[in-house]
Structures are given as structure tokens and as C-alpha cells.
Amino acid sequence: MDEAFVRSRISQLRIKKGVSEYRMSTDLGHSKSYIQSISSGKSLPSFSEFLYICEYLGVTPVEFFDAGIEDPQSICKLRDFAKQLSSEDLAALLNMAERLADK
């Protein structure tokens, strides 16, 4: 992974979330141009700030860096719902996922 991937992935996930660079910057407690400076290549977030960005975008760091996951936010939501299910309901969800994957 390189810096260009980090910048691109932040932009991709921000757009998928439906927020502007300005709003994301201010939501994270920074100046209005913070995310724009990352997107344009002027800066990169610190590690702790990267973790806040992941939380804001609704993804784990692992999901952030997995370029093969097209919609990590939905996967994260699905995982959170699955944690609340009974064993029986979780088995039913797995069964349905397997059937959908076979299509």
C-alpha cells in the first residue's frame, strides 16, 4: 500500500458515505480544509487520526486496507447486526449468504 492508496480510499469511502470534504473535516474537529489537504497529497493523517477517520467512515483499519472489499461500510454494518443474532438466526443468515454467493 502506498500514500496514493490511502488518499484514494479515504475519498472513495467519504463519497460512499455521502459527506463533503468540508463536512468530514469539521466533523473530525479540524479546519475545513483538513480532508482536502489529505486528498490533494499535501499531507497524510497521523496514525491516531487515521483511526478516527476509519471510525468516522464506519470501517475497521483492516477493511480500509482491503482493496478487494468494494463496500466495507456495509460489511461492517452487517457484522454489527450479526453480533446481535442468536445462534439459530446467525445460522439462517449464513445459509442465505451461501445461497446468494452461489448465484
Q: Quote the pTM value.
A: 0.79
Give me the domains of the chain, ranges plus CATH numbers: 3-101 (1.10.260.40)
Q: What is the pLDDT along the chain (103 residues), one digit of tens a residue?
A: 689 999 999 999 999 999 999 999 999 999 999 999 999 999 999 999 999 999 999 999 999 999 888 888 888 888 889 999 999 999 999 999 899 988 7
d(CA 52, CA 58): 10
- Burial category of 47 from C-beta neighbours within 10 Å (exposed 0-12, middle 13-18, buried 19 and up): exposed
Which residue pairs from 95-100 have beta carbons closer than 8 angstroms and sit at least 24 positions apart in sequence? none
- CA nearest neighbour of 27 among 5, 60, 49: 49
d(CA 42, CA 36): 9
